[in-house]
């Protein structure tokens, strides 16, 4: 089996990484006249879409496939592929589903909810904080900074992955083609407090760090070029080193506390009228022989004399060509006053440090002059009182972990309780009646809370998803979108090393708990319980390994086939969708539960590929935790005949790969009334006192 799994992994490693499937001709059929599709861009996998407007051809936006830009694996390990169309401002014109392998939407909920979810992006923007929350959508109106989407019940993690795919892909295209900033998640950007204002003078603004200042003389500039080809080229610097080169003040003028104090009322209103929601403006005020605006500068363009970076990434500042008047009490230079706009799409984070730079360039030579540039760094940091940090919601996996924190705490407490109980199994099984009720209560919790409420049914789908993701060279971050599953997997992984397969299959599997309840009820109702012959039972148990090999093989070489093969598990039908599914799937699940009424936990024992996978991994188990006596199997067969799973061999050894940890044999082993060797030990330990006959006669007298 281990050799087989290794071969499957090698086959998977040869699989090709999926990529976009649409050609230019296919895109043209999706965007008919008056639209037209241009050649695919070289720097990013996106097609420009144009529109004929009279004699002019206008850029409508860009179309692209999400799988080319953000191949985030879904729960089958294969990314959802979406066709996204954004306009020239980065706003979504359309999002549609091209292909997917999400189990919950394949013959489950159906594709209609998925397509309806994707359609909600139309009119939204990747610079908005998009929250998937139906309640918020009903109670809060969207604005330029926030938008709300209806989620899909029972598919919370899947739609989170889809949302991340849409946003990540759109941001990559927007950064390359539309000037959006690199590397910043709009969900994690602070917001300016536009309603906050404090009356302050220019000196107070400087002291508070709301205005930054740099002053350079010609001599200081000459020092920057000393030892280079640019040294000594400025005769004025050599003749008058103390002369002022530039006295520069920079301020984040779109922040009300700064702008309203620096500008007069008319200028403040004029500035606000030129900025869109989310835009920022920087004010440069200077005096001296040098200015951030050169003599040949074209108004409305980007200055090469003042640059801005944040997180080592360039941020474009474009001149607003706006005449502004400083307030009378500003006491700041008014010779050269310019205001630069930073669009909201640039992703400038008010909470982050700004790295302004003043490039100073000198030229040497006449025909082909050599340009030598030195930069003067001008750091700037907005005080924390002027912005609001993000509330913690984000479109990625962190958001869903925060939202599900109460469920995670309940699950963690339950798992801790189970671990303590299993570790102290002697105390747990000391009273058979009490143990039986405790086990029923825990299985009811597993079925109700872990299964139906928290949707925490672990499945072979996770393993096939990992196989497909690794075979395609993708990461496993998609697992983080299911926090309940992650916590369960961590616990199950640890339990495999201690107790083997049985901890999950016997205590934490919701479908297993459902089967166990049905089997117990069938026994109480007098339904005949079939116990197969040992040889027949062993042969049937090997079937689940064949099923496992088929499912993993399909996952490695044919994802579409794997989508069908995983349906051998009835978990999605019975637990995830609570039997709300097409009749063939419901009939199949009910058939397996019906078989479990006659053969105890039929599916778990003979067909479950996930149980087979855990049994293989359970070979790493370190403990032989089920106590045995020398008499077990020779001659005592009590536990073997009482084991409903037939996991005890005639010789008395426990087959841990088939043990589902019901612990009935542990209860018997500890019982003075049910364990034959124990009963014999007690009987032998009894002593009858020998009393002399004469003592008896005296006592009788």
- What is the structure's pLDDT at 209? 93
Using a 10 angstrom Cβ sphere, with 0-12 exposed, 13-18 middle and 19 or more buried, the burial of residue 220 is middle
Mean pLDDT of the chain: 84
- What is the structure's pLDDT at 572? 85
Least confident of 190-199, 404-413, 487-496, 509-518: 190-199
Residue 328, classed as helix, strand or coil, is coil
- What is the structure's pLDDT at 4? 42
With a CB cutoff of 8 Å and minimum separation 6, the contacts of 177 are 41, 44, 46, 62
Least confident of 127-136, 453-462, 494-503: 127-136
- Please answer whether residues 155 and 104 qualify as being in contact, where contact means their C-beta atoms are separated by less than 8 angstroms: yes
**Dist. CA 233–CA 177, nearest whole Å:** 39
**Dist. CA 520–CA 526, nearest whole Å:** 10
Gyration radius (Cα) of the chain, Å = 36
- Pairing label, strands 354-364, 307-310: antiparallel
Using a 10 angstrom Cβ sphere, with 0-12 exposed, 13-18 middle and 19 or more buried, the burial of residue 170 is buried
> In angstroms, what CA-CA distances link 586 with 76, 455, 504, 512, 677?
22, 18, 24, 17, 47
- Pairing label, strands 56-65, 47-53: antiparallel
pLDDT of residue 464 exceeding 70, the answer is: yes
**Dist. CA 372–CA 665, nearest whole Å:** 85
Report helix, strand and coil shares of the chain as percent, to nearest 5: 45, 15, 40
Comparing CA positions, the residue from 390, 289, 659, 386 lying closest to residue 505 is 659
- What is the structure's pLDDT at 691? 65
List Cβ<8 Å contacts ≥24 apart for 537-542: 537/605, 537/646, 540/605, 540/606, 541/605, 541/606, 541/658
- What is the structure's pLDDT at 260? 94
* 160-200 tens-digit pLDDT: 888 888 888 888 888 788 866 554 555 567 889 888 899 99
- What is the structure's pLDDT at 126? 79
Residue 93: which pLDDT band, with cuts at 50, 70 and 90? very high
What tokens appear for 539 in the block? Answer: 């042969």
Domain borders along the chain are: 2-185, 191-388, 397-625, 626-687
Higher-scoring residue by pLDDT: 573, 19 = 573
What tokens appear for 306 in the block? Answer: 């003042």
3-class SS string, 60-95: EEEEEEHHHHCCCECCCCCECEEEEEEECCCCEEEE
Residue indicated by tokens 């002053």: 215
Comparing CA positions, the residue from 292, 326, 306, 330 lying closest to residue 205 is 330
Residue 639: which pLDDT band, with cuts at 50, 70 and 90? confident
Using a 10 angstrom Cβ sphere, with 0-12 exposed, 13-18 middle and 19 or more buried, the burial of residue 449 is middle
Degrees, nearest 5: CA angle 629-633-635: 95
34 preceded by cis ω (within 30°)? yes
**Dist. CA 453–CA 447, nearest whole Å:** 9
With a CB cutoff of 8 Å and minimum separation 6, the contacts of 546 are none
Higher-scoring residue by pLDDT: 481, 527 = 527
Name the strand (E) or helix (H) holding 359: strand 354-364
* 438-448 tens-digit pLDDT: 999 999 999 99
With a CB cutoff of 8 Å and minimum separation 6, the contacts of 203 are 331
Least confident of 465-469, 505-509, 686-690: 686-690
**Dist. CA 475–CA 605, nearest whole Å:** 33
- What is the structure's pLDDT at 125? 84
> In angstroms, what CA-CA distances link 381 with 139, 246, 296, 385?
35, 21, 31, 12
**Dist. CA 584–CA 566, nearest whole Å:** 15
Residue 15: which pLDDT band, with cuts at 50, 70 and 90? very low
- What is the structure's pLDDT at 137? 65
- What is the structure's pLDDT at 101? 80
Degrees, nearest 5: CA angle 642-643-648: 120
Stretch 286-300: mean pLDDT: 87
pLDDT of residue 249 exceeding 70, the answer is: yes
Higher-scoring residue by pLDDT: 127, 507 = 507
* 188-235 tens-digit pLDDT: 678 898 888 999 999 999 999 999 999 999 999 999 999 888 888 888
With a CB cutoff of 8 Å and minimum separation 6, the contacts of 446 are 507, 508, 509, 510, 513
**Dist. CA 171–CA 46, nearest whole Å:** 12
Comparing CA positions, the residue from 516, 461, 609 lying closest to residue 108 is 461
> In angstroms, what CA-CA distances link 554 with 485, 542, 564, 585, 613?
23, 19, 9, 20, 15
pLDDT of residue 12 exceeding 50, the answer is: no
- What is the structure's pLDDT at 545? 93
- Please answer whether residues 11 and 553 qualify as being in contact, where contact means their C-beta atoms are separated by less than 8 angstroms: yes
pLDDT of residue 92 exceeding 90, the answer is: yes
**Dist. CA 261–CA 268, nearest whole Å:** 9
Beta partners for residue 676, in sequence order: none
Beta partners for residue 192, in sequence order: 387
Total residue count of the chain as it appears in this document: 701
pLDDT of residue 68 exceeding 60, the answer is: yes
């Amino acid at each position: 089996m281990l050799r087989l799994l290794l071969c499957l992994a090698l086959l998977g490693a040869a699989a090709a990484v999926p990529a976009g499937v649409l050609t230019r001709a296919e895109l043209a059929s999706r965007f008919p006249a008056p639209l037209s599709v241009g050649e695919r861009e070289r720097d990013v996998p996106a097609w420009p879409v144009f529109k004929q407007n009279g004699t002019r051809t206008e850029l409508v936006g860009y179309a692209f496939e999400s799988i080319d830009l953000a191949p985030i694996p879904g729960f089958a390990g294969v990314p959802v592929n979406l066709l996204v169309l954004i306009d020239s401002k980065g706003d979504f014109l359309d999002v549609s589903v091209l292909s997917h392998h999400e189990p919950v939407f394949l013959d489950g909920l159906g594709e209609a909810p998925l397509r309806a979810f994707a359609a909600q992006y139309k009119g939204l923007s990747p610079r908005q904080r998009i929250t998937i929350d139906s309640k918020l959508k009903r109670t809060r109106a969207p604005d330029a900074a926030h938008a709300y989407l209806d989620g899909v019940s029972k598919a919370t993690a899947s739609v989170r992955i889809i949302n991340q795919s849409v946003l990540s892909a759109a941001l990559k295209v927007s950064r390359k083609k539309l000037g959006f900033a690199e590397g910043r998640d709009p969900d994690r950007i602070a917001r300016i407090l536009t309603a906050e204002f404090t009356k302050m003078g220019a000196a107070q603004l400087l002291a508070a760090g709301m205005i930054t200042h740099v002053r350079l003389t010609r001599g200081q500039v000459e020092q920057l070029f000393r030892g280079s080809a640019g040294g000594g080229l400025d005769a004025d610097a050599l003749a008058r080193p103390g002369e002022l080169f530039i006295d520069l003040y920079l301020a984040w003028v779109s922040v009300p506390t700064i702008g309203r104090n620096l500008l007069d009322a008319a200028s403040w209103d004029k500035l606000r009228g030129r900025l869109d929601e989310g835009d920022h403006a920087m004010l440069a005020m200077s005096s001296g022989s040098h200015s951030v605006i050169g003599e040949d500068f074209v108004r409305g363009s980007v200055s090469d004399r003042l640059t801005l970076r944040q997180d080592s990434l360039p941020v474009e500042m474009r001149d607003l060509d706006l005449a502004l008047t400083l307030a009378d009490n500003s006491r700041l230079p008014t010779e050269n006053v310019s205001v630069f706009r930073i669009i909201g799409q640039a992703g400038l984070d008010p909470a982050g440090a700004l790295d302004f730079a003043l490039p100073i360039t000198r030229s040497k030579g006449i025909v082909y002059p050599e340009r030598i540039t030195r930069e003067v760094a001008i750091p700037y940091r907005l005080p924390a009182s002027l912005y609001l940090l993000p509330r913690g919601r984000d479109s990625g996996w962190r958001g869903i972990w925060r939202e599900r924190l109460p469920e995670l705490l309940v699950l963690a407490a339950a798992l801790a309780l189970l671990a303590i109980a299993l570790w102290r199994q002697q105390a747990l099984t000391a009273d058979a009646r009490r143990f039986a009720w405790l086990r029923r209560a825990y299985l009811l919790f597993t079925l109700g809370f872990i299964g139906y409420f928290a949707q925490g049914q672990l499945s072979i789908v996770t393993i096939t998803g990992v196989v497909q993701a690794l075979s395609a060279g993708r990461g496993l971050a998609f697992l983080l979108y299911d926090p309940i599953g992650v916590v369960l997997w961590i616990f199950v992984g640890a339990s495999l090393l201690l107790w083997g397969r049985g901890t999950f299959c016997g205590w934490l599997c919701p479908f297993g708990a459902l089967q166990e309840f049905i089997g117990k009820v069938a026994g109480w109702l007098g339904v005949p319980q079939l116990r197969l012959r040992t040889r027949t039972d062993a042969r049937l148990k090997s079937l689940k390994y064949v099923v496992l090999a088929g499912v993993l093989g399909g996952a490695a070489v044919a994802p579409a086939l794997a989508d069908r093969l995983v349906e051998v598990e009835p978990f999605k039908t019975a637990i995830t969708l609570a039997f709300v599914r097409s009749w063939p799937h419901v009939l199949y699940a009910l058939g397996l539960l019906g078989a479990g009424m006659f053969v105890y936990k039929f599916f778990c024992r003979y067909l479950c590929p996930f149980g087979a996978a855990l049994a293989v991994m359970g070979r790493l188990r370190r403990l032989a935790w089920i106590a045995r006596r020398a008499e077990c199997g020779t001659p005592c067969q009590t536990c073997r005949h009482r084991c409903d799973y037939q996991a005890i061999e005639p010789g008395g050894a426990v087959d841990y790969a088939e043990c589902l940890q019901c612990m009935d044999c542990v209860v018997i082993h500890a019982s003075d009334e049910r364990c034959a060797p124990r009963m014999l030990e007690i009987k032998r330990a009894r002593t009858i006192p020998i009393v002399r006959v004469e003592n008896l006669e005296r006592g009788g007298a």
